[in-house]
Structure formats: C-alpha cells, structure tokens
Amino acid sequence: MDTTRPAADQPAPDHTAPAPSSATTPTPTSDTPWDVVVIGGGSGGLSAALTLVRARRRVLVLDAGAPRNRFAAHMHGVLGHDGRSPLALLATGRDEVAGYGGVIRTVQATGVLRDGDALVVTSDDGATHRTRHVVVATGLRDRLPDVPGLREEWGRGVVSCPYCDGFEVADGRIGVLATGPGSPAQAQLLRQWSARVVYLTGEVGLPDDATRRALDARGVEVVEGVVEQIWAGTDSALSVRVAGRTIDLDRLFTAPTFEPLDDVLRGLGAERADTPWGSFVTVDAAGRTSVDGLWAVGNVVNPAATVPVAIGAGAFAAAMLNHDLVEDDVRRALAVADVEAGAAAAGVRTTGGSAASDSLSTPSEAFWEQRYQGTDPAWGSRPNAALVAVLGDLGLTPGRALDLGCGHGGDAVWLAQQGWDVTATDVSATALARVDSAARAAGVDARVTTARHDLTRTLPDVTVDLVTASYFQTPVEGVVREDALRRAAARLTSGGHLVLVDHGSVAPWSWDQDATFPTPDELARTLGIADAEVVLAEARRRVASGPEGQQAEVTDTVVVLRRA
C-alpha cells in the first residue's frame, strides 16, 4: 500500500507559513534526489522528518508500519499525550509531516549504498531512492521470554517499562519475571511504585545472597521456580502459575532481549559497540554514525529511548543534519562561484538561461545536478562516435551549432575543434562548469558558449546550422523531450541539420533495465518535425564501456533530419 499523502490533501499546517517551494517538493519518483530519506516512521523517524520538512528540505519517509509499542492501547509519560493511543500519535505525526510536503511510503527499506556523493536507499517494492543523507529510525524487536501465554499478553498484562506503565498499577500487585542479571534491579525499581512486588526467579534461578538480602530488605517477595503459564486473569489483570501455585497480578514486568533492526546500517559498515543490552551501532550526541551522511535515532541505537526520548533524538539529529546540509550548500555555491570567476577571467562567455548559481527548481535540474555532482568529470569528455562518423559522412561546412544536453562537453569541444561555433546547453551547472574547463584546456573556449536551460522549458536564443543531441534521454518523470527537439529544430537555418544519437538498447550497467526504445523509423516519425526531410534513420552497433570498465555491445539509434 502506498500512503503517500500529497500536500494538497492535508489540512494546511499553518496559514502564516510559506508553502513548500517547488525546490522542496519534487515529483516523488524513485529517481528524484531527496535531501533526506528517513527509514522508519515511528516517533523518532517522524520527529526527524517533521523538523526537516519544516526546514524546507525534500524528505521521503519509508516505513514498514510496525512500531514497537503497537501492542499497547495507551501510552504514558508523553507530555501532552498521556494516555493516548500510540498509533493515533503516529497517525497525527504522519499528517503533520505530509502537511509540510513530506512524502511517506509504506515499504520496507532493504539497504543503503553509497554512489559518489549520494546515498541510495533500496526498498522492497524494487524502488531506489537517491538522497544526500539518511536517518535510520527503525526501532528494535523485543525478544520475549519463552513462557506459554506471555506473548498473548504482551503490551497489556505483561510490559517492560516502569516509567510507561508503573503508575497505572501503583500500590497494586506487581510481578517481575527475571530474565537476566539486571532483573533484581528492575524489581527494586518497581518497588518505587508498590510495596507488593513479587520477584519470579524463572529460569534465571535465585539471586546471590547480597542481592537477595536487598530484595528482602525492601519487602520484595521472591518466588522460585519456572513460570509454567500466563493468562489474562478474571479478578486480576493477569495470573501466572509457578511450580503449581497460581499468583494473581495487576501487571507483570519483564526485560526482553533487544534486537536492533539495524540491517540497513550494517550495509555501510557503521561502527558498533557492545553494551549491557547487546551490540548497537554507535552514534554521537547528535545521532551521527561513523558513516558520512548516515544518522540513527531512537530505539535502533538506544533501547532505553521512550517515545519522548525518541522524539527529542529525532528532532535534534534533524537540526544537526540540516546544519550539515547548509554547510554542503555553501561549499557547492562557492565551487560554482570559483568556476564562474575562473571562466570570466579566462574570457569564456556564458549566455542565456540562468546564472549558474541560481536554481532552476525543476525536477530535471534536481536529477541531473545530483547526477553530475556524483560523476567523474572525465566521463563523457570524448565525442560521441556516431556523431563524429555522421558529420564525417555529411561533410558539412562548420558554422553555428547548438548542442542539447551537452553533459561534460565531449561533443561541444570536438565540434569547436572542427571549426563550429557551439552553444553548449545543459540543465546542470556542474556539467557546464566542466564544459568551460574542457574548452579552455582544448584551446577552443572562444568557440564554446555555455548556457544553462531546462530544455523542456527554455532554449538559448540562437539560430544555428546544426543541432546535435547525443543520448538526450531522461528518466525524469513528466519530461517530454520531443518538444525540446522540435523547438530546437525550429532554430535551424534552411538546409541546417539535426543529428540525434539515442540509446537504442539497454547496457547491462544501465539504471533502467526495463527501458524500451523506438526503432529509428519510429523515432524519426514521432519527432514529426515540419519542413524537414529524413536524411538517415538507422541502428548502429558499438561496443560500450561501463562505469567499472566492463564492456558490452549496445545499439545506438541515429536519426539525421535536414531542414528544407
């Protein structure tokens, strides 16, 4: 089930608050880079998400929907919510997060991987989610003592936390079922709530003499023997049978074994430590793990965290995480400013489109900017082989060219070297900065002008003899690139050419193994460019290299049109 709650469906959280900007609410596709993916939508995760969405960050919450306290009808010790249902609290929390533009999905996260600067979260619906940071708030599993009937009473007659359930049985008959060396201390703690505490030794056996004396001194009754059965009582909340004797209780407390649900933290090798409660991933006071960009809050790292403690940890981690994001934003802005200053000093012209540092705030920019920031600058710096071959065959006289989706500028720089004056355009400021550098390094900067555009919306204001578009294909949802190609073709002079080289098959390392492609003829037809004849429409095989040097034969679809 998908519980994504579009912001528009939610009650307005605050009429005085600014609406989330388009930069903070991208189309929630699995390709959209998020600022933060929160794994786990219990008290800790939703609290982190709420702080982050209110800081106008793009936040995705992945939640399997099984909070630890789901067995309890009421919760206590939660300021302002005493006695409320824990599930009702979380439902309100989800509405609040969604009301500020957060996206919540009911899925199981299956792993977190690093990809360049980004983290990639996988989920059991087959989706992948690229993000700058991850908050893990997956909680823990209580491994209960193996006593017949205990599991059925968990969260009602049988509980573990005196601060959550002690007051409700004040002065009542309280049992403590021993599960380990910490159990006598649990009995001493519960003595704070009632003078009628029964310590059941269970399979742990009698405590040592000093411990026994301390229990006796405070009037705690010690009952030796294995607990044979637990059942909901008739006159009391609960009854237990020990060595043939029935004991009626108002509540039985016990300490389960804690099993942190931290598989997603293990994948990236987050450091852990042995604690009295078992092995847990270590975090600093703000919730940072040893892995960059990976945070953890709540029971997954702190079994003693009650609901308010998990809420506090989530809120604090979120604020510290947002500080890290701001520092990162500053670093990126400075890097762009440095490149621009260098380009200006070297006399490289940038024209049209937006200033490199202004966000275009479109889903395409969000996707491609993140993509290029995590990509080796050397990738895509060579010209497209099919383009080189086609232009060789056409024997065109160099004039003005427009390169759509120029990426790192392999085509643009090569065209400039052949004598073309090229306007190289892309949505990514990072990619364009690299084109400027490459053009300078090749000594053709006077022939290369970079311009930043989301080509589905705007185009450079130029008239050209050649439009090139190599692998101008996008996984971003809702983008119709044919419109951009038609508008670009309209900028061609009479007799000008459009050379389109598309992926025509899926490489084994491609991110979308299910992609399908039109045939060359279909592609030429779909473009439907007025006043143009099809010069060439064919499939060409080539051997391509993957990101790890692997090789495979793939197909390129090459279409060349000539404007009448």
Ligand X SMILES: Cc1cc2nc3c(=O)[nH]c(=O)nc-3n(C[C@H](O)[C@H](O)[C@H](O)COP(=O)(O)OP(=O)(O)OC[C@H]3O[C@@H](n4cnc5c(N)ncnc54)[C@H](O)[C@@H]3O)c2cc1C
Q: Give contact residues for ligand X (rule: CB under 6 A).
A: 39-45, 62-69, 71-72, 75-78, 108-109, 137-139, 142, 155, 159, 161, 164, 261, 264, 298-299, 305-308, 310
What span, in angstroms and rounded, lies between the C-alpha atoms of 464 and 87?
A: 62
Of 107 and 390, which CB lies nearer to ligand X in the complex structure? Answer: 107
Of 85 and 361, which CB lies nearer to ligand X in the complex structure? Answer: 85
Q: What are the backbone angles phi and psi of residue 344, rounded to the nearest 5°?
A: -65, -40
Of 189 and 539, which CB lies nearer to ligand X in the complex structure? Answer: 189
SS3 readout for 20-60: CCCCCCCCCCCCCCEEEEEECCCHHHHHHHHHHHHCCCCEE
What span, in angstroms and rounded, lies between the C-alpha atoms of 445 and 421?
A: 10
* Centroid of chain to Cα 325: 14
8 Å CB contact between 435 and 412: yes
Q: What are the backbone angles phi and psi of residue 124, rounded to the nearest 5°?
A: -75, 0
Locate tokens 């059942």: which residue?
Answer: 231
Least separation in angstroms between residue 437's CB and ligand X is 41
Q: How many CB atoms lie within 10 A of CB 232?
A: 13
Least separation in angstroms between residue 207's CB and ligand X is 25
What span, in angstroms and rounded, lies between the C-alpha atoms of 133 and 64?
A: 19
Locate tokens 């643009």: which residue?
Answer: 412
What span, in angstroms and rounded, lies between the C-alpha atoms of 488 and 468?
A: 9
Least separation in angstroms between residue 63's CB and ligand X is 5
What span, in angstroms and rounded, lies between the C-alpha atoms of 289 and 311?
A: 18
Neighbour-count burial for 486-516, b at 16+ CB within 10 Å, e otherwise? bebbebbeeebbbbbbbbbbbbeebeeeeee
Of 102 and 155, which CB lies nearer to ligand X in the complex structure? Answer: 155
Of 268 and 429, which CB lies nearer to ligand X in the complex structure? Answer: 268
Of 41 and 380, which CB lies nearer to ligand X in the complex structure? Answer: 41
Of 170 and 378, which CB lies nearer to ligand X in the complex structure? Answer: 170
Of 275 and 510, which CB lies nearer to ligand X in the complex structure? Answer: 275
What span, in angstroms and rounded, lies between the C-alpha atoms of 337 and 334?
A: 5
Q: Which two tokens stand for residue 81?
A: 């919510």
Of 76 and 447, which CB lies nearer to ligand X in the complex structure? Answer: 76
Q: What are the backbone angles phi and psi of residue 462, rounded to the nearest 5°?
A: -135, 155
Give every CB contact of residue 218 below 8 A, 6+ residues apart in sequence: 188, 191
